[in-house]
């Protein structure tokens, strides 16, 4: 792993993902999580302050990057929540079938190398009646924006730690065995359109 990936990129991700417009998105989805929660791609722990602590039992915090886990540590310590680290990739989830009540995933599905395999694992561990709460950026509906996303994606992926600009988030989730319950899509204000088309809401095991 290069110096850029180990030291610079985690700080950049923490900074961009902590911007006010993204924090607004977190407030729309994270407080909905209840019970035994699994967060996929915990990152630097920016979702922690948005959990409703009266409704959360514990949080499995899955994060494969040691640098991100280091950045998250002070937020975990401050949170007072029962946060249980899982130092691995979403594709390798070790939790038992139907063992979590909520899965939270924010700005992670763009980066997971085998997104379909990870979503299969999410589907497996979520109990019937449980919910996936998510917010992701991805493929835009406008042909012009989409062309730029496709053009920029190879360079962007290298600079942004494997993040893809052009994944079709709603269909990726739906084709992994989920019913989309309450989903919204929009360009976020103040963000470049090629990276700013967001899909957020909740999905249930179908």
Ligand X SMILES: C[S@@+](CC[C@H](N)C(=O)[O-])C[C@H]1O[C@@H](n2cnc3c(N)ncnc32)[C@H](O)[C@@H]1O
- Composition of the chain by helix, strand, coil, percent to 5: 40, 25, 30
Question: Pick from 136, 137, 134, 150: which is nearest to 195 by CA?
Answer: 137
Verify binding: residue 25, ligand X, rule CB under 6 A: no
35: which 2 tokens?
């019970």
Question: Pick from 183, 188, 148, 167: which is nearest to 19 by CA?
Answer: 188
Residue closer to ligand X (CB basis): 78 or 128: 78
Residue closer to ligand X (CB basis): 46 or 203: 46
Q: What's the min distance (Å) between Cβ of 62 and ligand X?
A: 6
Rounded-to-integer distance, Cα 63 and Cα 68, Å: 7
3-state DSSP assignment of residue 189 = coil
Q: Which of 33, 51, 63, 71 binds ligand X (CB under 6 A)?
A: 63
Residue closer to ligand X (CB basis): 64 or 177: 64
Q: What's the min distance (Å) between Cβ of 43 and ligand X?
A: 2
Q: What's the min distance (Å) between Cβ of 78 and ligand X?
A: 16
Question: Pick from 49, 61, 45: which is nearest to 13 by CA?
Answer: 45
Site string for ligand X, 89-118 (x = CB under 6 A): xxx--------------xxx--xxx----x
Residue numbers at the binding site for ligand X (CB under 6 A): 13, 17, 40-41, 43, 46-47, 62-65, 68, 89-91, 106-108, 111-113, 118
């Amino acid at each position: 792993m290069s110096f850029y990936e180990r030291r610079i990129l985690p700080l950049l991700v923490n900074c961009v993902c902590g911007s006010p417009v993204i924090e607004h998105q977190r407030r729309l989805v994270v407080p909905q999580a209840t019970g035994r929660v699994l967060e996929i791609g915990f990152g630097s722990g920016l979702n922690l302050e948005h959990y409703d602590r009266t409704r959360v039992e514990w949080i499995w915090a899955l994060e494969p990057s040691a640098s991100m886990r280091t950045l998250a540590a002070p937020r975990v310590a401050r949170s007072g929540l029962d946060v249980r680290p899982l130092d691995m990739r979403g594709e390798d989830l070790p939790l038992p079938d139907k063992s979590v009540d909520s899965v939270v995933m924010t700005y992670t599905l763009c980066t997971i190398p085998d997104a379909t395999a990870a979503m299969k694992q999410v589907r497996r561990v979520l109990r019937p009646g449980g919910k996936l709460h998510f917010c992701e950026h991805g493929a835009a509906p406008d042909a012009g924006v989409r062309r730029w996303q496709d053009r920029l994606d190879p360079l962007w992926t290298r600079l942004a730690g494997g993040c893809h600009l052009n994944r079709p988030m709603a269909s990726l989730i739906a084709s992994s065995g989920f019913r989309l319950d309450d989903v919204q899509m929009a360009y976020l204000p103040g963000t470049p359109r090629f990276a700013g088309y967001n899909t957020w809401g909740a999905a249930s095991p179908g």
